[in-house]
């Protein structure tokens, strides 16, 4: 390893630097702009996200470790960074109208969105416990504030407190596990760790570390039984924040999970495979069953999001390169359909109506056919009905499980998909079959229309022509780990 940090390191973290600069510009512009022109901040934010996306271009086939192996710049990180940035851009577009209705100040909000995105990017690239931890906290602290951003709203505040307390608590557990990992291996670098753990398979101290880290990561991805914060926080937080939380935070946590377990702990893979097998089944089942009787759409989507974490874990359990590919594919696909669904919820938000109850959706098909059709598509996609992207993602996950001989897991996954349709279709029934009961129209705005159009297009295109995404995801999964660390990838 070279001593000190070289200038080339700064080149490789260019996207992160651009995003940081963008965040600072937003913060400064918020002070400089007169109050009535602050809505322009959303465009500044979008420009920052766009610039960051553009700055990813030179690194499409880079595969290096920077700064003493603190960060990896590879296709795996790149794939996730694209997911985060796209999700952030969609979230910003969704927020414009929402913030206007809530009367919240946009400056800090957009700044925090960018900070959270920055944290996610560091998490995806992190191959060292220190960077992963810092990325995680950058993201988490931003989300604590964002969840409680609507200060006059007691529910928003309650969501923030719950998220914060449980987040800090789970952080303690995660860090304790990390400290054991460090103590057992003598290093914080995951790839070095993988080699020194090579001889320690079956060690009970290692198992303890694995369990604690699983609990900490399990909290972030909202896996059962570490999931209980999710429904409350999702319901209480401002809808665009919920959307970003359920997509960005979840994807980043999965990136972290893959880095820690697949790269850092391949020797303990028997232990964590079994753990994730149990968690996957529990998460799918509890998430889907609990969603069935929900009447609040945001809360229902929260449980649905929990269930989806269970599906995604199937790919991790399979652990093969096809499994990891399926995980990446599913996270990308999931981002679009989940963000789209929340965008429709935002559409129903009016000054006097919260718009997240099931009954607010009744007769939507006749009031706004496009929004209803989009929601129909997202629901079908979340339920895994072809020809949507969600079906392709699930198909890939389940076939990866079968490929790795996890037949029961696939079976329970299919069964859960069947149960999940029950509540997804319920929304469709409310939109299409129930007649109009609400007087006023759902308000549309150009930005929301763009969000819906993008999400619809992605959900359809990735469902009908998923090949490109598969190839990209497979290429990204292949770059995972240094030469020796891919032992877990059979």
Residues from 299 through 338 that contact other proteins (CB under 8 A):
322, 325
Q: Which of 250, 258, 287 is nearest to 424 (CA)?
A: 287
Identified binder of other proteins from the candidate list 90, 123, 215, 456, rule CB under 8 A: 215
Helix (H, G, I), strand (E, B) or coil at 65: strand
161 exposure class (CB count in 10 Å sphere: 0-12, 13-18, 19+): middle
Binding segment toward other proteins, per CB under 8 A, in 7-15, 37-45, 441-449, 460-468: 460-468
Rank residues 49 and 400 by Cβ distance to other proteins and give the closer one: 400
* Contact call for residue 467 and other proteins (CB under 8 A): yes
CB of 126 to other proteins, least distance (A): 12
Q: How far is the CB of 54 from other proteins (least distance, A)?
A: 30
Query: CB of residue 356 vs other proteins: minimum separation in angstroms?
Result: 12
Q: If binding is defined by CB under 8 A, does position 1 make contact with other proteins?
A: no
Please choose, from the candidates 182, 181, 139, the residue with its C-alpha nearest in 3D space to the C-alpha of residue 272: 181
Distance CA 39, CA 292 (A): 39
Q: Does 231 bind other proteins (CB under 8 A)?
A: yes
Query: Applying CB under 8 A, which of residues 20, 39, 55, 157 lies at the interface with other proteins?
Result: 157
Interaction between residue 283 and other proteins (CB under 8 A): no
What are phi and psi for residue 197, nearest 5 degrees? -80, -10
The yes or no reply on residue 159 touching other proteins (CB under 8 A) is yes
32 to 61, contacts with other proteins by CB under 8 A?
none
Question: Rule CB under 8 A: is residue 208 a binding residue for other proteins?
Answer: yes
By the rule CB under 8 A, 461 interacts with other proteins? no
27 near other proteins, rule: CB under 8 A: no
Segment 40-43 long-range contacts (CB within 8 Å, at least 24 positions apart) = 41/106, 41/107, 41/110, 42/92, 42/93, 42/95, 42/96, 42/106, 42/110, 42/447
Size, binding site for other proteins by CB under 8 A: 102
In the bound state with other proteins, the residue whose beta carbon lies nearer, of 27 and 425, is: 425
Please provide the DSSP assignment of 338-366 as one string: HHHHHHHHHHT--SS----BGGGGTTHHH
Distance (Å, whole) CA 213 – CA 282:
18
Neighbouring-strand partners of residue 128: 189
Report how far residue 247's alpha carbon sits from residue 90's, in angstroms, rounded to the nearest whole number.
Answer: 11
- Smaller CB distance to other proteins: residue 240 or 384? 384
d(CA 10, CA 16): 9
Kindly state whether residue 187 participates in binding other proteins, applying the rule CB under 8 A: yes
Q: How far is the CB of 178 from other proteins (least distance, A)?
A: 8
Q: Burial level of 305, CB count in 10 A (0-12/13-18/19+)?
A: buried
Q: Which of 6, 8, 61, 179 binds other proteins (CB under 8 A)?
A: 179
Identify residues 377-396 at the interface with other proteins (CB under 8 A).
380, 385-387, 392, 395-396
Span 128-147, contacts to other proteins by CB under 8 A: 129-130, 133-134, 137, 141, 144-145
Q: Of 113, 212, 309, 364, which one interacts with other proteins (CB under 8 A)?
A: 212
CB of 275 to other proteins, least distance (A): 7
Q: Omega of the bond prior to 387 within 30 degrees of 0, cis?
A: yes
Could you tell me which residues come within 8 angstroms of residue 49 by beta carbon, excluding any fewer than 6 positions away?
Answer: 19, 22, 85, 88, 89, 92, 114, 117
20 binds other proteins (CB under 8 A): no
Choose one: 58-66, 214-222, 253-261, 334-342; the region binding other proteins (CB under 8 A): 214-222
Check binding of 242 to other proteins (CB under 8 A).
Answer: no
| Residues of span 405-434 touching other proteins by CB under 8 A | 410-411, 414-415, 418-419, 421-422, 425-426, 429-430, 432-434
CA 251, chain centre distance (Å): 3
87 binds other proteins (CB under 8 A): no
Among the listed residues 44, 88, 89, 180, the single contact to other proteins using CB under 8 A:
180
Verify binding: residue 162, other proteins, rule CB under 8 A: yes
- Alpha-carbon distance 100 to 282, whole Å? 40
Query: d(Cα 72, Cα 66) in Å, to the nearest integer?
Result: 6
What is the rounded distance in angstroms from the CA atom of residue 424 to the CA atom of residue 385? 11
Q: Which of 82, 200, 474, 487 binds other proteins (CB under 8 A)?
A: 474
């Amino acid at each position: 390893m070279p001593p000190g940090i070289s200038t080339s390191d700064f080149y490789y973290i260019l996207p992160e630097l651009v995003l940081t600069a963008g965040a600072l510009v937003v913060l400064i512009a918020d002070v400089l702009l007169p109050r009535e022109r602050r809505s322009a901040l959303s465009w500044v934010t979008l420009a920052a996200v766009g610039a960051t996306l553009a700055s990813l271009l030179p690194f499409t086939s880079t595969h290096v470790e920077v700064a003493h192996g603190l960060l990896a710049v590879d296709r795996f990180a790149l794939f996730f960074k694209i997911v985060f940035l796209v999700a952030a851009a969609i979230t910003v577009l969704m927020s414009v109208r929402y913030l206007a209705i809530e009367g919240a100040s946009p400056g800090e909000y957009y700044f925090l969105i960018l900070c959270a995105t920055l944290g996610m990017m560091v998490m995806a690239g992190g191959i060292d416990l220190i960077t992963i931890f810092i990325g995680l906290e950058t993201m988490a602290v931003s989300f604590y504030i964002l969840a409680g951003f609507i200060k006059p709203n007691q529910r928003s505040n309650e969501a923030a407190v719950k998220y914060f307390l449980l987040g800090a608590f789970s952080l303690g557990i995660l860090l304790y596990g990390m400290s054991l990992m460090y103590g057992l291996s003598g290093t914080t670098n995951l790839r070095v760790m993988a080699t020194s753990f090579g001889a320690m398979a079956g060690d009970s101290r290692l198992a303890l570390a694995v369990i604690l880290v699983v609990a900490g990561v399990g909290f972030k991805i909202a896996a059962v039984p570490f999931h209980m914060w999710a429904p409350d926080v999702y319901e209480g937080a401002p809808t665009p924040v919920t959307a970003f939380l359920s997509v960005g935070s979840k994807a980043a946590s999965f990136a972290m999970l893959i880095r820690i377990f697949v790269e850092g702990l391949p020797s303990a893979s028997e232990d964590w495979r079994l753990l994730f097998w149990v968690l996957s089944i529990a998460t799918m089942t509890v998430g889907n069953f609990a969603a069935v009787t929900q009447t609040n759409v945001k809360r229902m989507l929260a449980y649905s999001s929990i269930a989806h974490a269970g599906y995604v874990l199937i790919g991790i359990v399979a652990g093969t390169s096809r499994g990891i590919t399926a995980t990446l594919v599913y996270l990308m696909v999931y981002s679009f359909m989940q963000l789209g669904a929340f965008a429709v919820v935002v559409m129903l938000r009016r000054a006097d109506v919260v718009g997240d109850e099931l009954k607010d959706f009744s007769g939507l098909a006749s009031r706004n056919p496009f929004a209803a059709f989009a929601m129909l598509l997202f629901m079908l996609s979340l339920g895994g009905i072809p020809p949507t992207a969600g079906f392709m993602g699930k198909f890939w996950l389940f076939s990866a499980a079968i490929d790795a001989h996890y037949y029961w897991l696939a079976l329970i996954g299919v069964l859960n998909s069947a149960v999940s349709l029950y509540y997804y279709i319920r929304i469709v029934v409310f939109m299409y079959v129930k007649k109009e009961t609400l007087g006023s129209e759902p308000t549309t705005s150009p930005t929301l229309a763009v969000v819906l159009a993008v999400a619809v297009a992605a959900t359809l295109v990735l469902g009908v022509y998923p090949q490109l995404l598969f190839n990209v995801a497979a290429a990204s999964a292949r770059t995972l780990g240094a030469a020796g660390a891919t032992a877990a990838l059979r």
